[in-house]
Chain A
Amino acid sequence: EPEVTQTPSHQVTQMGQEVILRCVPISNHLYFYWYRQILGQKVEFLVSFYNNEISEKSEIFDDQFSVERPDGSNFTLKIRSTKLEDSAMYFCASMGEGGGTEAFFGQGTRLTVV
């Protein structure tokens, strides 16, 4: 069964460093998303991406964050100058032909900023 793949599964970084979280969405999907879940809190929407551009972003997704689809398969989230409060589980998700179809999530990347 097709799945969303995220790498790495766990990343530890020093405060102020840049990190890139990688995702391979399901191959024929067109809509891509990043969410995060701080420990013990709700899953929160960060950004949606369609047709090679950001279609929507949350208040959390400030200039520190950026997304890119550098080739036909990868979808990345870059966090510049990480802060302690960026520590969270980051999930990538993809949807098929429409934004109202079933969302499939990856296994997540646990980011720990020290």
Chain B
Amino acid sequence: KQEVTQIPAALSVPEGENLVLNCSFTDSAIYNLQWFRQDPGKGLTSLLLIQSSQREQTSGRLNASLDKSSGRSTLYIAASQPGDSATYLCAVNPANTGKLIFGQGTTLQVKP
């Protein structure tokens, strides 16, 4: 059974720092992996989608990498800003069905 784990559960950094959020999954047979942002009490905003054949994806200050064989993905946030404060979720798509399996998230606080 696929399990997704995110470390750390919470992270607090000063503004301007570069940071890395980690996501691991137990079964390397995935179709793709998606990173989301969730603000308190709100929905999920898609940040990046990485297909299983890709190693990384970039969008602005965000870079996500995927190492399928080791069951890991990282989300790199450059030059963090207070507006980046949110919970970041990773989700794996085990097959071409769209059913996503989520990690528990990393709650990020960026202090001014």
Contact = CB atoms under 8 A, between A and B. Distances in A.
Most-contacted residue by chain B among A41, A43, A108 (CB, 10 A):
A43
B96 A107 contact: no
Contacts of B101: 45
A32 to B, nearest CB: 9
Contacts of B32: 100
A108 B43 contact: yes
- Size band of the B side of the interface? 20 to 34
B53 to A, nearest CB: 11
Contacts of B103: 42
Contact of B99 (A33, A91, A110): A33
Nearest to A45: B99
B64 interface: no
Interface of A: 6, 31, 33, 35, 41-45, 48, 55-56, 89, 91, 93, 95, 98-108, 110
Q: Which 4 A-B pairs have the closest CB atoms?
A: A99-B98, A107-B43, A105-B44, A43-B102
